[in-house]
Amino acid sequence: MKTDVAYNQLVDMERRQEANRKAQINCRCAIALVTVAVVLLAATALYIVLTLRVSSSHPAPSSSLHPPRRESCSDPCKIVLVESIPEGLEFNSSTTHPTIFKAWLNLMGEARSSIDIASFYWSLTNKDTGTHEPTANQGETILNTLADLSGKLSVRIAVNTPQGSQPQGDLRLLNNSGADIRTVNMKELTSGVLHTKFWVVDKKHIYIGSANMDWRSLTQVKELGAVVYNCSCLAADLGKIFEAYWLLGDSESIPSPWPSSFATLYNKDTPLQLPLNSTPSSVYLSSSPPSFCAAGRTPDLQSILSVMEDAESFIYIAVMNYLPTMEFSHPKRYWADIDTQLRRVGYEKRVKVRLLISCWASTKPVMFSFLKSLASVYDPKSGLDIQVRLFVVPASPKQKEIPFARVNHNKYMVTDKIAYIGTSNWSGDYFVSTAGSALVVNQTASVSPEPTVQSQLRAVFERDWDSNYSTPVAQHFNHKHLC
């Protein structure tokens, strides 16, 4: 996972990204013109349609030749938050959600024609980890079910090019079973990794979230994601991000600009309007790194900063790692875009900020220094209210033997307005060189009695924040005793 990025490479990368951004701005102007033209055309078409008294049908699925017209979506989209709660963890709370294991099984059960999976690495069996854990059975079930389907329908897997010691047994099995696999050489392309984790099924259902294709992500690591069923408009848009990885799997360079078939009209400024659980919602998907964003796509960092900017009363964040640095760069580099935004909105808008960060044996000690600094922005008398807690997943002696497990791996943010469900750790690398993506849901206009995604995510955060697995970061706090 460590990547060595030389300083001048980084500077170079940033320059290229700046150029890309400018190109994107130009593209956006072009799109605006095209949109005007399309609207005129659409009006003409509508006139003809009305004249002929032909009733218009379902919104056209996005064609690969033309960017979709921006219109609302009438699919009966159903969104469900899903979680993996590690073995033995118990909350004194009624907030529970279906498991990610169940969600993946459901998705495979629904699949009729295709399953596309974007993934970091595959390690779904005891064999891969050299363990004898009964709790690996869920991962093994997922792998076997997917292998069965691979012979029957189109199964495509985009995966980060496996590095040296990474297990490859699962990928070999799937390949031999008929799945189509492409490895994306992120190390060469961006000096990063493909860290995204999502599924697109039948171009209709999607899953996105923190869980890797790893048996531990189902039973030994705490994860959060979302499944959206019966939602071809959103699935078509996530499909474009998948197609970008798919193309890169066969390519040694990143297209610039991206062909128009990868462009989207759904972003932070013009989100997709659709009903989610019968509640009017606006939704978009963000992506990183910026060089992977075709015209119209909001880069993941811009998405995070704008969600924070839009908050009026609170911002709750649950991420595994939080660092105002480039975690994997040599020489060291400071990277404070997110950190500065939090302090700024905390100060200027008196927004209440809560960060729930993970603490485990592999946490880098420097993270605690930066978290203490952030937590010191607390003085209720002056309206400063930033608080930080560390979440520890306890482990029995037996559980301690499972490598890289027993940790809170969540990557989400919830504000008084928005639910943001992502796949990235929060340090600079994940927004500059690593491929990740996020689902951003806005249901502020909701008048429906159904709980919004935002309120469900808030309840998850509050359950974890108030649980006895979380501990405030204090100035003299010593993490060695905690994790």
Which of the residues are catalytic? 195, 197, 202, 409, 411, 416
Cβ proximity to ligand NAG: between 17 and 279 the closer is: 279
Look-up of token digits 């709980």 = 451
CB of 229 to ligand NAG, least distance (A): 4
Residue 50 CB, nearest approach to ligand NAG (Å): 28
Which residue from 121, 146, 149, 148 is spatially nearest to 216, judged by alpha carbons? 121
Q: How far from chain centre, in Å, is Cα 70?
A: 23
**Is-contact 411 197, C-beta < 8 A?**
no
* Measured distance CA(25)–CA(18) in Å, rounded: 11
In the numeric block, the tokens 């301690």 are attached to 400
Question: Which of 312, 401 has the CB closer to ligand NAG?
Answer: 312
Output 282 or 329, the one with its CB closest to ligand NAG: 282
**Residue 229 or 368 with smaller CB distance to ligand NAG:** 229
Min separation Cβ 44 and ligand NAG, Å: 29
Q: Give the chain's largest Cα–Cα span.
A: 76
Q: Which is nearer to ligand NAG, 120 or 266 (CB)?
A: 120
Residues in the chain: 483
Q: Closer to ligand NAG at the Cβ: 258 or 292?
A: 292
112 contact partners, CB below 8 Å, separation of at least 6: 153, 202
User: Least Å distance between CB 168 and ligand NAG?
Assistant: 7
Task: Round to whole Å and give the CA distance between 449 and 447.
Answer: 7
How far apart are CB 18 and ligand NAG at their closest, in Å? 25
Smaller CB separation from ligand NAG, 20 or 235: 235
| Alpha carbons 293 and 263: distance in angstroms, whole number | 8
Q: Which residue has the tokens 């189509």?
A: 180
* Least Å from the CB of residue 185 to ligand NAG: 12
Q: How far is the CB of 180 from ligand NAG (least distance, A)?
A: 9
Which residue from 219, 252, 237 is spatially nearest to 440, judged by alpha carbons?
237
b/e map of 226-245 (b: 16 or more CB within 10 Å)? bbbbebbbbbbbbbbbbbbb
Interface contacts to ligand NAG, rule CB under 6 A? 1, 78, 92, 120, 171, 175, 181, 183, 212, 229-230, 282, 310, 320-321, 394, 409, 417-418, 425, 442, 444-445, 468-469
Residue 82 has, within 13 A of its CA and on its CB side, a CA count of: 26
CA distances from 12 to 54, 137, 190, 432, 448 (A): 55, 46, 11, 12, 49
Can you read off the two tokens belonging to residue 70?
């921006």
